[in-house]
Amino acid sequence: MSQPSDKALVPFVSVDNMMRLVHHIGIEQVLIDLATYVEDDFRRWELFDKTPRVASHSEVGVIELMPTSDGEAYGFKYVNGHPKNTSEGLQTVTAFGLLANVYTGYPVLLTEMTILTALRTAATSAMAAKYLAPKGSDTMAMIGNGAQSEFQSLAMKAILGLKTVRLYDKDPAATAKCAANLAGTGLNVVSCATPQEAIEGAQILTTCTADKQYATILSDNMVGAGVHINAIGGDCPGKTELAKGILERSDVFVEFPPQTRVEGEIQQMDEDFAVTELWQVISGQTEGRKDPRQITLFDSVGFAIEDFSALRYIRDKVSETPFKEDLDMLADPDDPRDLFGMLQRAKA
Ligand SMILES: NC(=O)c1ccc[n+]([C@@H]2O[C@H](COP(=O)([O-])OP(=O)(O)OC[C@H]3O[C@@H](n4cnc5c(N)ncnc54)[C@H](O)[C@@H]3O)[C@@H](O)[C@H]2O)c1
């Protein structure tokens, strides 16, 4: 049987190679680079094809497809969210994604995106905090110490200069895991017994919990003036983390309103609740934080353009490294119209 030609091969980044690539570059550098890629794409937001992600809900979770294109490249991510999974030894979120050439429609990269999603979510949070958090923010409360939490903490350190992270999770084992992982990173890590203790002295409040319900991770009385809330875990219909009263007192920044109104914290508010699109702040069309006493809220749900930026980054970086393998993914008949003839190559 003949070997596949170059036209058949698509570079593939496995989980193992993604881990090697991240350490090869350095995790904080990856977070800084990813924030730059996301920021560049937010600046050219208007030229992207945009659609709310396509979600398939079940009793226990959600499976989503997230496509977008800048006219030259097309990308999509497959991602799930199953809060019950960790109790079965599985992850809440897993993902993979693909980048393709718009001119031919041929894929140019297939990659794991479970690790990459944690990196891009953290880089996006830190990028948003750069524009929205109070000047000189150096302390963050990290509520929810699961898979995303170390990434969130390190991105705030690398991009914003965070010095202290105050951890809280309803499961003390998650806090112990996060504290152990962050030891030696240069962050001052404080493990807390209650969410109230975690928010003491913090200018940035990150909520990153997983539960399939309208939860109240932050109640109205917990949030004083002059803080930035980075709300990550409310990202599905019926799944929120903040008391409604907080939204009423905050200036809310979102990725793509048609998606966030269905999935984000603002699903609790009326259809016409005022929000600012983050890309407009980043492109200088509107202001981010205007006043030190303001409460800013990044109602993050995760948007396809952030994954597109992450795919672009991996494509650019991996091409200079050995951290990829070629997958025989595309049929390549000798005559493009003779697919049937190609099939006969494997006949015994
Ligand atoms: N906005 C985005 O772009 C984005 C990206 C990735 C994940 N997410 C969301 O972020 C959340 C966290 O993801 P993960 O991968 O870290 O999940 P995970 O399951 O690994 O961790 C979640 C943690 O939240 C804790 N928790 C649950 N309820 C809590 C409560 N009431 N108080 C304190 N802690 C509580 C759990 O004990 C667990 O340790 C999920 O809801 C996920 O859907 C959002």
Percentages of the chain per state (helix, strand, coil), in multiples of 5: 40, 25, 35
Q: Which residue's CA is minimally distant from atom 24 of ligand 1?
A: 209
Q: 285 CA to middle of ligand 1, Å? A: 32
Predicted local distance difference test score (pLDDT) of residue 253: 98
95 lines ligand 1 (CB under 6 A): no
Show the low-confidence residues of the chain (pLDDT under 50): none
What number does the ligand 1 atom closest to the CA of 86 have? 19
Q: Which helix (H) or strand (E) holds 67?
A: strand 62-69
Name which residue sits closest to atom 28 of ligand 1, judged by CA: 209
Contacts of residues 341-344 at CB distance under 8 Å and 24 or more positions apart, as own/partner, are none
**Could you tell me the distance, in angstroms and rounded to a whole number, from the CA of residue 308 to the centre of ligand 1?**
23
Classified by CATH at the fold level, domain 6-115+305-346 comes out as ornithine cyclodeaminase, domain 1 (3.30.1780)
Say which residue the tokens 């009793």 belong to. Answer: 59
Residues in Cβ contact with 50 at an 8 Å cutoff, skipping those fewer than 6 apart? 68, 256, 304, 305
Q: Is 145 in the pocket of ligand 1 (CB under 6 A)?
A: yes
With beta carbons less than 8 A apart as the criterion, state whether 184 and 226 touch: no
Give bridge partners of residue 81 from the DSSP assignment.
Answer: 62
Please give the distance, rounded to the nearest whole angstrom, from the Cα atom of residue 116 to the centre of ligand 1: 16
Closest ligand 1 atom to residue 301 Cα is 1
CATH top-level class for 122-303? alpha beta
Cα dist. 95→99, 117, 188, 209, 348 in Å?
Answer: 14, 7, 31, 18, 37
Phi, psi of 159 (to 5 degrees): -100, -30
Q: In the chain, which residues fall in CATH 3.30.1780.10?
A: 6-115+305-346
What's the confidence (pLDDT) of residue 122? 98
Task: Enumerate the CATH 3.40.50.720 domain ranges in the chain, comma separated.
Answer: 122-303
pLDDT of residue 144: 98
Give the per-residue pLDDT at 211: 87
pLDDT at 5: 87
- pLDDT at residue 270, as a whole number: 97
Q: Tell whether ligand 1 has an atom less than 6 A from the beta carbon of residue 92.
A: yes
Q: How far apart are CA 31 and CA 153, in angstroms?
A: 11
Residue 77 is encoded by which pair of tokens? 């991510």
Residue 2 is predicted with a pLDDT of 66
| Ligand 1, atom nearest to 215 Cα | 31
Distance between Cα 241 and ligand 1 center (Å):
10
* Ligand 1 atom nearest residue 85's Cα: 19
100, 107 contact by CB (below 8 A): yes
Question: If you measure from the C-alpha of residue 232 to the centroid of ligand 1, how many angstroms do you get, rounded to a whole number?
Answer: 8
217 lines ligand 1 (CB under 6 A): yes
- Six token digits for residue 115: 């690790």
Nearest to residue 289, comparing CAs of 132, 140, 77? 132
Region of 340 on the Ramachandran plot (φ > 0 left; ψ -120 to 50 alpha; else beta): alpha
For residue 212, the model assigns a pLDDT of 78
Q: Verify whether ligand 1 is closer than 6 Å to residue 215 (CB atom).
A: yes
CB 10 within 8 A of CB 107: yes
Give dist(CA 227, CA 328) in Å, integer. 51
Q: Which residues are catalytic?
A: 235
Enclosing H/E stretch for 222: none
